[in-house]
Amino acid sequence: MKISKRAQQLSPSVTLAASSKAKKLKSEGKDVLNLTVGEPDFATPKNIQEAAIQAITDGRASYYTPSAGIPQLREAVVEMIRKVYGLDYEAKNVIITDGAKYSLYLLFQAMLDVGDEVIIPVPYWVSYGEQVKLAEGTPVFVSCKQENEFKVTVEQLEAARTKQTKAMILNSPSNPTGMIYTEAELTAIGNWAVEHDIMIISDDIYGQLVYNGNTFTPIATISEEIRKQTIIINGVSKSYAMTGWRIGYTIANEELIGAMNNIASHSTSNPTAVSQYAAVEALNGSQETVEEMRQAFEARLNTIYPKAAALPGFKLMKPQGAFYLFPNIRETLTLCGYDNVTDWVDDLLDEAYVALVTGEGFGSADHIRISYASDLAVLEQAIERIAAFIDKKIQANN
């Protein structure tokens, strides 16, 4: 049997591939420090776990749910958006999905026809382009400059715009760069999108993970016109340490939510019931643990950033949010006698047992991504190992 062209043209998720490789080595007894995947190391907070257990023992988790999600969870999302964003939506504007990743998947399936273009600023999160291609749309990649904190400008967007441009993706705080768009930048981008009737897909998944006095402004809050042009993507994975539960959501106009819901009803039926009950508690319950975890990430960033920045040849900006460092290591490669990041990352894993992700999956061959969603001792040890590895390579190269 021949595999479909659709599947053949797809590359696997580099983040998940790197994480699987690291986990496999670990299971073989190797002392691997895994800084690959963007996954909080914390256990899901107790109150959320208990809500899930309760839903199981009550028998509520045994059954299919409405495919757009249980009403309580759609209402909890509406309430959260009212409190945190100050925006009024109704439950009919919300669909609950199997992670934010499946929100994006459904969205592209529901909004794109063959040849419709989606502008994706580079560096980007690994799945955007592949998901657009799966919907037979065309990703249009726009390279952002490190000097501009890897943020896309209206001039760049305008240069990329064609008659086929249907949407653009905005991910602030960004995975992998950690940068946050300012209100002025969002206003300019939002007004441009309104003027040309281009939908803004606002991936807000790291919105609660901002550090050192930086603030996150959701683009949907800039003006009523921009809000109408915006589709909000979010989920509980990152802020509530719930990656394994697979709950995300989309907020958009009723027509689009309905189209996504039709596709969901024929593909997953509904997100796992027990996870939905857990997510209700995540959104409605005490937010104290969210703040505690945010503070822990902030402390890790503040400890680890100066050490990473001091590594030979590493060029990186201090992230403002999310939980990744994204250094340009072109100079390090030269010092170490390598010509590409992939070989360097492979050798770092094989020789020093530190697992990272290459920048290639994020659209940048000169970078690596380091997830700092691990505990401080692991992070510090990893930096020491990377320093020793670089030292060894520099000596061998001289």
**Which position among 22, 33, 37, 70 is part of the footprint of ligand GLU (CB under 6 A)?**
37
Cα(240)–Cα(351) distance, rounded to whole angstroms? 34
**285, interface contact from ligand PMP, ligand GLU, none, CB < 5-8 Å by kind:** none
The residues that bridge with 119 in the sheet, in sequence order, are 140, 168
Q: Is the dihedral of CA 69, 73, 75, 77 positive or negative?
A: negative
DSSP secondary structure string for all residues of 285-349: S--HHHHHHHHHHHHHHHHHHHHHHTSTT-B-PPPSBTTEE--B-HHHHHHHT-S-HHHHHHHHH
Query: Which C-beta is closer to ligand GLU: that of 127 or that of 358?
Result: 127
Rule CB under 6 A: say whether 15 interacts with ligand GLU: yes
Query: Which C-beta is closer to ligand GLU: that of 109 or that of 174?
Result: 174
Cα(127)–Cα(14) distance, rounded to whole angstroms? 9
**Which position among 65, 67, 230, 243 is part of the footprint of ligand PMP (CB under 6 A)?**
243
Cα(321)–Cα(214) distance, rounded to whole angstroms? 8
Cα(374)–Cα(38) distance, rounded to whole angstroms? 9
**248, interface contact from ligand GLU, ligand PMP, none, CB < 5-8 Å by kind:** ligand PMP
Question: x/- site string to ligand GLU, residues 290 to 329, per CB under 6 A?
Answer: ----------------------------------------
How many residues in the shown chain lie near ligand PMP by CB under 6 A?
13
> Alpha helix (H) ranges present in the chain?
5-8, 14-27, 46-57, 71-80, 99-111, 127-134, 154-160, 183-195, 224-228, 254-267, 273-284, 288-309, 330-336, 341-352, 376-397
Rule CB under 6 A: say whether 151 interacts with ligand PMP: no
Can you tell me which residue has the tokens 């590895």? Answer: 389
Question: Of residues 334-353, which lie at the interface with ligand GLU (CB under 6 A)?
Answer: none
Question: Of residues 337-366, which lie at the interface with ligand PMP (CB under 6 A)?
Answer: none
Could you tell me whether strands 165-171 and 199-203 are parallel, antiparallel, or unpaired per DSSP bridges?
A: parallel
Question: Of residues 195-234, which lie at the interface with ligand PMP (CB under 6 A)?
Answer: 203, 205
Cα(244)–Cα(99) distance, rounded to whole angstroms? 9
**126, interface contact from ligand PMP, ligand GLU, none, CB < 5-8 Å by kind:** ligand GLU
**Which position among 175, 177, 261, 289 is part of the footprint of ligand PMP (CB under 6 A)?**
175
Query: Which C-beta is closer to ligand PMP: that of 87 or that of 373?
Result: 373
Residue in the shown chain whose Cβ atom is closest to ligand PMP = 99
Rule CB under 6 A: say whether 44 interacts with ligand PMP: no
By the 10 Å C-beta count (0-12 exposed, 13-18 middle, 19+ buried), 54 is classed as middle
Shortest separation between residue 171's beta carbon and ligand GLU, angstroms: 10
Query: Which C-beta is closer to ligand PMP: that of 45 or that of 352?
Result: 45
Shortest separation between residue 188's beta carbon and ligand GLU, angstroms: 27
**100, interface contact from ligand GLU, ligand PMP, none, CB < 5-8 Å by kind:** ligand PMP
**Which position among 67, 97, 165, 175 is part of the footprint of ligand GLU (CB under 6 A)?**
175
Cα(88)–Cα(82) distance, rounded to whole angstroms? 6
By the 10 Å C-beta count (0-12 exposed, 13-18 middle, 19+ buried), 161 is classed as middle
Interaction site with ligand PMP (CB under 6 A)? 38, 99-101, 125, 171, 175, 203, 205, 235, 237, 243, 248
Interaction site with ligand GLU (CB under 6 A)? 13, 15-16, 37-38, 101, 125-127, 175
